[in-house]
């Protein structure tokens, strides 16, 4: 697995990073949700999978937060083998304000979706 990150234009801005990586879909959703509750946000284009020769494919995302986060985000992971289910869940999620951050395939098609949290910070 190879991942490149670049430093932003504002060198005074500081971020903390967290790597979420697991083979289990439910664990992934739980860990991303937990990180989001701590103020972390998924970094664009870092939702990836790492094939293993002898086992299940690992899924990963890099999350970041500024030292003093002012916004919170919520995440939804859609994972299915059926196109009809994907379409139905996508339609429901977008009607609830989620937008897609990334898509990948392994044993199923997976879409990571995000929305700004309306909960108190």
Q: Over the stretch 31-70, which tens digit does the pLDDT of each residue have?
A: 999 999 999 999 988 999 887 767 778 899 999 998 888 8
Burial group, residue 47, by CB count within 10 angstroms (0-12, 13-18, 19+): buried
Predicted TM-score of the model (pTM): 0.84
Residue 45 has a pLDDT of 86
Q: Where are the alpha helices (DSSP H) in the chain?
A: 25-37, 83-95
Mean pLDDT of 86-113: 94
Residue 6 has a pLDDT of 67
Phi, psi of 65 (to 5 degrees): -150, 145
How is residue 104 written in tokens?
A: 């990948």
**Residue, of 119 and 74, whose pLDDT is higher:** 74
What is the rounded CA–CA span in Å between residue 76 and residue 102?
11
């Amino acid at each position: 697995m190879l991942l490149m990150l670049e430093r932003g234009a504002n060198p005074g801005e500081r971020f903390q990073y967290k790597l979420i990586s697991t083979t289990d879909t439910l664990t992934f959703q739980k860990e991303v949700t937990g990180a989001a509750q701590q103020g972390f946000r998924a970094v664009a284009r870092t939702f990836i999978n790492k094939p293993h020769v002898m086992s299940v494919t690992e899924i990963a995302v890099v999350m970041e937060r500024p030292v003093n986060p002012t916004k919170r985000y919520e995440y939804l992971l859609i994972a299915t083998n059926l196109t009809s289910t994907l379409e139905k869940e996508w339609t429901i999620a977008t009607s609830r304000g989620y937008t897609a951050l990334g898509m990948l395939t392994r044993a199923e098609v997976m879409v990571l979706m995000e929305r700004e949290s309306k909960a108190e910070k």
